[in-house]
Copies of this chain bind each other. A is one copy, B any other.
Amino acid sequence: MTKTKPTVSNKDVALQTAMMLFLTKGYHVTSMDDIVKASKVSKTNIYYHFKSKEELLIAMVDQLTARYERQILSVAAQEDLTIAVRLERIVNMLTTNQSSMDVLGGCPFLTLYMQTSTESEQVRSQIKQFFDRQLHALERLLEAGVRNQELRSDLQVQPTAALMLTSIEGALFIAKACDNPRILQDLLQGLLALLK
């Protein structure tokens, strides 16, 4: 008898379930037992892959940052598109709810950071490095746009990159806190006007 390999591993199911619970209910209120129950993966199996809730958290942040970075870099590398179009797609991608989850703080990274930064040095460091790399990716794109004269020659690269990253992060949070998705649409318009 041959077995077909399952398309989603138990490890992945556990990780996705934990992510949904940590982001929409909270890290502290979610126990390993809750993850077992909601994922229907056995406790033995989950503990085989993750020795603790913190190990699950670290794997989750790794997966999330890798996914976002892959998406950002794949758009940034599309040299057949203008810099402005690539920036617009990146902003659009980051401000669109990617998972349809009702994430507690709007943005998954802000949510996980705020819940765990005081107890997990590693998560704090993963998230810091992720934001640092996002900022540099935006700076490089803006620089390229100024160099090839597509963007204004007097565009201030560092302040503009900081404005883009911080406003996206703040907008995800405030749209959630104010239950006002218009904030995200307004922001997208405001950022695009900035580049013209």
List residues of A whose CB falls within 8 A of some B CB: 25-26, 28-29, 104-105, 110-111, 113-115, 117-118, 124, 127-128, 131-132, 135, 156, 158-163, 165-171, 173-174, 177-180, 183, 186-187, 189-191, 193-194
Contacts and interface: CB of A to CB of B under 8 A. Distances in A.
Contacts of A183: 135, 162, 166
A2 to B, nearest CB: 47
Which of A105, A110, A168, A174 has its CB near the most chain B CB atoms (within 10 A)? Answer: A174
A163 B177 contact: no
A15 to B, nearest CB: 23
* This protein's copies in its complex: 2
Contact of A166 (B25, B105, B174, B189): B174
B173 A167 contact: no
A179 B131 CA distance: 11
Contacts of A168: 166, 170
- The 5 A-B pairs at the shortest CB distance, nearest first, are namely A170-B170, A159-B190, A169-B170, A166-B170, A162-B186
A191 to B, nearest CB: 7
A111 B105 CA distance: 10
Given A118-B26, A128-B179, A190 B162 contact: yes
Nearest to A170: B170
A71 B194 CA distance: 28
A58 to B, nearest CB: 16
B167 A174 contact: no
